[in-house]
Structure 1
């Protein structure tokens, strides 16, 4: 097994190649060590180049999941296919570690640093996601912090309802003396925030 590591402001990605077995235990310790030391909300294992995974390799993924949770991040497996997908789905590993479909909205674990809370969104934010988004934001607003940052660094699409929900969250926060900020918007999401002038109402950082 070998891997390529890539990191941006909101996601640490490991792209694995070859076969992951008990022989890779020592090499995988470097991966879990980096996860434990990371400060990003998303850890992503890209399995597009992984050809084989034995039971020990599955255990290594579980250890990585635990390391991510302890670091306040969420681990997800992407580009899962072929024999590796067959093994993971046969044992319902997707119930333990997220294996999102392309475009699904994912919401990270809430992270706290002093008086600041941060939640990250990834994928596509559509009208059908409001029932998942609102309870998390309402819970965050009711907590004892002064600032909530919604990290959009891994969000690839947002529709008008998503924009409206973010504005609603900001309004609700202001009513109780708290502040909502939007972090790291990229590409078309950043452009839409500018086009709709959301960035003049909600601070973008």
Structure 2
């Protein structure tokens, strides 16, 4: 899926974890595509989600709010949301807004899957 500078790859792992690889720029224009990708995974009954941020080069407050929304919805269904491997610019925003107080952050996808 691609729109306005953001691309989202989806993979559902055998353990029932949806791994979404978010690439490009997640801003106001890209959030609808991100939400659509998350919705397609959740529609399949997958509520344990991992966002691989290794190729996300930019995110603004719209992306932060989208992550918080996904986390809230996942928890409501008995699942979770984890973040992994953000680039330095995205990590700065995550730390600045204190996002890790609400959503666990891991260095690698493997760590997040094991977490």
RMSD of aligned Cα (Å): 2.0
d(CA) in 2 for partners of 1:146, 1:130: 19
Structure 1 unmatched ranges of 5 or more: 1-97
d(CA) in 1 for partners of 2:5, 2:46: 29
Q: Cα distance, 1:138 vs. partner? A: 1.8
Please name the residue that 2:14 is paired with.
113
- Count of residue pairs brought into register by the alignment: 105
Structure 2 unmatched ranges of 5 or more: 107-115
- Runs ≥4 in structure 1, deviation > 6 angstroms? none
d(CA) in 2 for partners of 1:113, 1:132: 25
Q: TM-score when scaled to structure 2?
A: 0.82
Q: TM-score when scaled to structure 1?
A: 0.48
Please name the residue that 1:193 is paired with.
94
Q: Counterparts of 1:1-205 in structure 2 under 5 Å?
A: 104-205=5-106
d(CA) in 2 for partners of 1:163, 1:146: 19
Deviations 1:38-61 (A, max 9, x none): xxxxxxxxxxxxxxxxxxxxxxxx
Q: Cα distance, 1:109 vs. partner? A: 3.0
Which has the larger Rg?
1
Task: Name the structure, 1 or 2, with higher relative contact order (CA <8 Å, separation 6+).
Answer: 2
C-alpha change, 1:130 and 1:146, in structure 2 (3 Å) is closer
